[in-house]
Structure 1
Amino acid sequence: MSTSEIATVLAWHDALNNRDTDTLLKLSSDDIEVAGPKGAGQGLAALREWAETADVTLIPGALYVHHGVVVAEQTETWAAEPDKPQTVASAFRVVRDQVTSTFRHDSLAAALAATDLSENDLFEDN
């Protein structure tokens, strides 16, 4: 278990939520894969476009980590529907302190199943 991977994913969330696209891109690999319910893209240009148009806030909750994979349970709030937050989860692959992929799932169970992580991989900050 690596706190570096957790720190990278938390910093990625901070950059996204603060609309700090430059930092978000620095925390991401050149060939990052981004996927969610409305489609997928690859590369920093695709990430920039998504980050600048999505108008979403993702607040991380429980975190699971194993061998470079981090699953973050998230409270997702869209600017268009601020009174309708949802609980979702995203799976991140982190390599050398950069996010190489992020895939959004409709539930924590789906994200854990897609990554073969389990409750045993729950990150507990001591």
Structure 2
Amino acid sequence: MLNPAITAWHDAVNDRDLDAARATVTDPVEVSGPRGTQSISAHAFTDWILRSGIRLRPLTAHPAGVDAVVVEQDATWPEAEVPARVATLFRVHDGRVSAVHRFDSLEEALAAARP
């Protein structure tokens, strides 16, 4: 079972509900992926949703501490023919997602979650 903030995050991203997406994250929110790590505003986060066109289907959740969960997901982008399996390390603070770190594998995400 996912943390409610992470469930709301997935719903907002997949539904392209920008108001709900802004409400699910802290401002700023830390994000990382293939292009590096940065701290962005909640508004910039919604720009990413639109620009990337990503959809993420959660598959498994792995608690990784008091405020962290690693979620294995099937990710699809508009130009992709098949989903890609990815894993995301989420950190939650005060009921909102404060960090979203995407990895190419579950193993990488779990390793990053270790203290």
Whichever of the two has the greater Rg, that structure is 1
The alpha-carbon deviation at position 52 of structure 1 amounts to 1.4
Q: Residues 10-25 of structure 1 correspond to what in structure 2 (within 5 A)?
A: 10-25=7-22
The residue type paired with residue 78 of structure 1 is: W
Unaligned ranges ≥5, structure 2: none
Q: Answer yes or no: is the 8 Å Cα contact 2:62–2:71 preserved in 1.
A: yes
* 1:80 matched residue in structure 2: 79
- Kindly report structure 1 stretches of 4+ aligned residues shifted beyond 3 Å: none
**TM-score with structure 2 setting the length:** 0.90
**Using the alignment, how far apart are the partners of 1:85 and 1:38 within structure 2?**
20
1:51 aligns with 2:49: yes
**TM-score with structure 1 setting the length:** 0.83
The alpha-carbon deviation at position 61 of structure 1 amounts to 0.9
* 2:26 matched residue in structure 1: 29
Report % sequence identity.
35
| Larger mean Cα displacement after TM superposition, 70-79 or 33-42 | 33-42
RMSD over equivalenced CA pairs, Å: 1.6
The alpha-carbon deviation at position 38 of structure 1 amounts to 2.7
Unaligned ranges ≥5, structure 1: 118-126
